[in-house]
Structures are given as structure tokens and as C-alpha cells.
Structure 1
Amino acid sequence: MPQRTVLLMDVGAEPMAILAARVQRLGLRAVRVKTPEEAIPVLSDRRHAVGAVVVPPDLPVPDLGGTLTALRTASGREHLAFLVAGTRMAAGERSRLARAGVTLPLWEPINAHPLRFQLNRAMAGPIPARRERGTRRAPSSHEVKMKAPRRMRRKEARLYTFSSRGVFLATPAPFLRGSRLEIEMGIPGLPRRIAGQVAMTNVAGNLLRSGLPPGMGIAFQGLGSDAEARLEMLVEKVLRRLEL
């Protein structure tokens, strides 16, 4: 299976070069081009397996919408996603980009977890084709502590995503599937300790999902309705900044 590729279009700007390096650290392939004309042969070559295209907000073309349509046509993918990278812009500029066909932003500053989350969203295909979930989830890089009931020592991990039903924790040493544990998320309005059970693991060398970091998915147990509502509110707050 070809390595997933992110195509980055820029005019040699340093921020885009840095972003390309960060994309590669996520295990994706980054290809940089300077113009839409250079992008077309890359997109049309199936060996590149381009899953998403990143553009700057000021791409120097007379018709951004027409340019993105031409690139999508060259790729042969009706739902090829375009992301914009840079500093968050005013609402009017965001609307202009959305009308042109840009689907998601990569607003700076953005660390590894939100970057991975946005690229996964972009490469997942059109929303109707995605697997339905009962709740929405959002990315984070918040540090949490966790402990198995019969263990004295707490371990540290980082949130990758969270929802009102559970979390995915990035850690090189996840607990076994089915393990019960307590999580200290340190978020105001939530219980100090939240009970959970490991629903799945993603282990280096035996990854179930290559788009996720090594770690484990945990389903909350016995979380009250007030805490669920608090988490749902936080998810929506985070996602608003990750959409145009």
C-alpha cells in the first residue's frame, strides 16, 4: 500500500517548509511544489497517492476556486480535500476560502496532535461516507495521568482526542485491552478521577490504525450527565477553531 502523501503548495516560504517536516514526522510523505502547474503531474500520478493538498491563504492565482477545481479534476478524486495553512484570518477571508473549495484550516500555532487530526479528517473522504459516531471528538495535547486500580504508581500520557464518551491517549506503553483504570484529566468541571476501560490499543510495530499515534482508546464508565455535557461543550469549542 503506498504511503499517504500530503501535497504542499507554496512559493518557498519558510513556514511551509517547517510544516512539511512536521508532516513527515507523522509518518506521512510530504511533497512540495511552487505552482498549480507543478502540482498537476503529481496529483495525476497515482503512485504519489495524494490524500490532501495544503495551500497558503494568499496563493497567487486569479481564480482560487477555478484553480482548486482543476487540481481536483487532475487528481481524479471528486472529494480531494484542500487545507489552508497560516495565521487565523478574519471571518470574511475564511468565507472566501470556503467558497473556493478549501475544506479545513491548519491555523498556527498547531502542534502534532491537532495537525494529525486535521490531516486525518481531510483524508477520510466526504463526511457522508465516514463511519457514523455517536459523539463528536476533538484533538488535544493536554497531559493526563492514569492509574490501574491495583497499582500505586501513576503513569503519564497525552490526550490525542477526547469526547463525552471517552479518550484516546497517546503513550508508547498502553495498558492491555480490557484493563480498567482511572484517568486524571485536570479539566475544570470534571471529576478529579474518571473511571474507564481500555477499548482498543495501537501499538508500535503492530498498529491497528496507522493514522493514530501509539496509544489506547478508553471508554468512560459511570461519567455523570453534567460531566458529559461539559465535555461536549469543550469539544465544540475546540472544533470551532478547526473549521473555516
Structure 2
Amino acid sequence: VCHAPMEYEYVHYNHIGAYRCTSCGHARPDPDYAATELDLQNGKLILDGQFTVALAFRSIYNVYNILAAYAACRECGVEGAAIADTLSSYILKNGRMQTFTLGQHHGILLTSKHENSIAYDTNLRYIASANEDCTVLIIVDAVSRKYFTSETSWLWDIDFDQLNVPHVKRVILSGMYRNDLAERFRFTGVQNWEVIPGIPDAAAAIRDSGSEALYVVTCFSDRDKLLNLPDVKKEG
């Protein structure tokens, strides 16, 4: 077993990227199918240098999902152009991303997985790259769907410093475990955060002020605690 460190030419997230062992030569193999160009801001993906896909959900996760579907179809003999056309016209029904309005705010709920820092980091990166004035609401009201536990050490694995950007004007921490969140935020460079304990109270505070974009980061267990509030109008 080789214990030498890995070098990376680039990293998409966590350990996913172009890796190479500094000792034994183990490296990322050349793929049979590849995403060769990507513009998340404009929602454009090019596969194998020639097939353009319009992205309905502008996330690196979605790019990996599309590439997996594309590779499977190509292996089954489907032409690349037909795959790209189909993917571009697909109407996304993504339970992990919900759009809504709250007062004058257009909101996007980005579902993360508690106890999974990669899921959180990817959604925080999405917010940081959006480049529009916004409020961010982070809800931790239930810790785990798998275990009966109140263990929150996984919060320390999340790179909340990604929210330390000028266009994130306000960060609100809410839910049963808001104090655990607050303790974590005390060790970040983010300055404009506050605690509003109840989820309805946090929603009301946002509703009654401003019209900037709103991003909500929470888990599958907690998302409907916001989306089902009377003042929240879910979009199709």
C-alpha cells in the first residue's frame, strides 16, 4: 500500500479532481467521456468538445449527473447530439432545489444533507458564486434522519467562510441547533450573522424587510418546516 501524498492539477470539490500519486504513479485515468467546457454562470456545458447542454440547475453536482447519464447513453449506442438535445429540454424536477417567494424576496432552497460537509460546501459555493445581493438562512432543526442523536460536530467540517463575500448581506441562523451553528460561526470570518430561534420568526423577519435574493440551506427533514409556512409561496 502506497502512503505517499496525492498531488492535484485541479479540484472540483473535496477529493474529486485530477489526482496523481507522488510516488507510485497512480493517477486519474483518461475518461472515455468528459465535460470539456463548463460555464455555470450562463448555464452552458459542453461534452466531449462538441455537444452543448443547457443546464437547468447550475451546480457541479448536476454536471456530474449529466455526464453519468450521457456516458450510459453513449455506451448504449445513442448519438451524442440526441443526448444533448434531450438533456437541454428536460424540465428539472429536483427535490434538492426549490424556488419560492417570501414577501418581496425570491428564494431558492438548497437542500443539503446533515452530517455531510460536501453537500453543504457545494451549496455554499453556489451562493458565493451567485454574485447578487442576498440573505442566507441556515436551518438546523433536526440533526439526522438515520440516528437518534444530537451530535453536531459535523458542523465544524463545513466551510462556512465561503459566505464571507460582499454580496451576502445577512446570514440568519435558526432551528433547534442554532446555538451550535452560532458557536461554529464565531470561528469564521463572517461578521453579519445573527440568531433567530424559531423558523416562523426567522421567515417573518425576512418577509418584513428588503427584497434581496434569499437562499435557504437546510436538510431534507427541515425543508418543509419553511416551505409549508403560510407566507411562503412555492413556485412550480
TM-score by length of structure 2 reads 0.30
The structure with higher relative contact order (CA 8 Å, sep 6+) is: 2
TM-score by length of structure 1 reads 0.29
